[in-house]
Amino acid sequence: MTREKVFNGVQGIFRDIFDEDDLMISDTTSSDEIEDWDSLNHINLVSAIEKEFEIRFSLGELMTLKDVGAMVDLMLEKIK
């Protein structure tokens, strides 16, 4: 799976969870920029990603995810 494909999938999930159809995210998008991106919604995002891409994050990994770019990179590792 290409990085672009993964990125687009993540964007779709962000749009659903935050209910903004035209939300554009980038590698540097972080929880500081999206108002509703609190710790509980972070759980919802991660869980939706796990479902859609059929991967699992471990506890330690979740703590280190600082922005969308880091998230996508980690996903790419797992999808391989």
Partner 1 sequence: MEIYKKITALEYPLDVNIILRKKKSIKKYLLLQDDLIEKNIVILGGSTTSEVKNILELFLLNNGIKANFYESEYNKFYEDALFGNDILDKFNPDIFYIHTSNQNIIKYPGYKESESEIATLLSNEMQRYKSIWSSLSKFDCAIIQNNFDYTLDRSLGNLDSSDIHGKTYFINQLNNEFSKSSREIKNLYINDINYLSSYFGLKNWFDKSLWYQAKYALSLSAIPELAFSISKIINSILGKTKKCLVLDLDNTCWGGVIGDDGLGGIHIGTETAIAETFTSFQKYAKELKQRGITLAACSKNDFKNAKEGFEHPESILKFDDFTSFKANWNPKHQSIIEIAKEINIGIDSLIFIDDNPVERDIVFSQVPSVAVPDIGADVIHFIEHIDRNGYFEPISLLADDINRGQYYEDNKKRAVEQLTFKSYDEFLVSLDMMADIKSFSSVYLDRIAQLTNKTNQFNLTTKRYTAGEIENIAYRDDYIKFYGKLTDKYGDNGLIAITIGRVEEKQCHIDLWLMSCRVLKRDMEFAMLDELVKQCKEKGVSEIVGYYFKSAKNSMVSNLYEKFGFELTETNSEDTIWKLDITNYENKNKFIGIRND
Q: How far is the CB of 41 from partner 1 (least distance, A)?
A: 9
76 binds partner 1 (CB under 8 A): no
55 binds partner 1 (CB under 8 A): no
Cβ proximity to partner 1: between 24 and 59 the closer is: 59
Alpha-carbon span 78 to 40, nearest angstrom: 23
22 binds partner 1 (CB under 8 A): no
Scanning 1-80, the segments in alpha helix (DSSP H) are 3-18, 39-53, 59-64, 68-79
CA geometry: angle 65, 68, 71, nearest 5 deg = 50
> Judged by CB under 8 A, which of 51, 66, 73, 79 binds partner 1?
51
Alpha-carbon span 15 to 49, nearest angstrom: 12
- Chain residues that interact with partner 1, rule: CB under 8 A: 13, 16-19, 39-40, 43-44, 47-48, 51, 58-59, 62
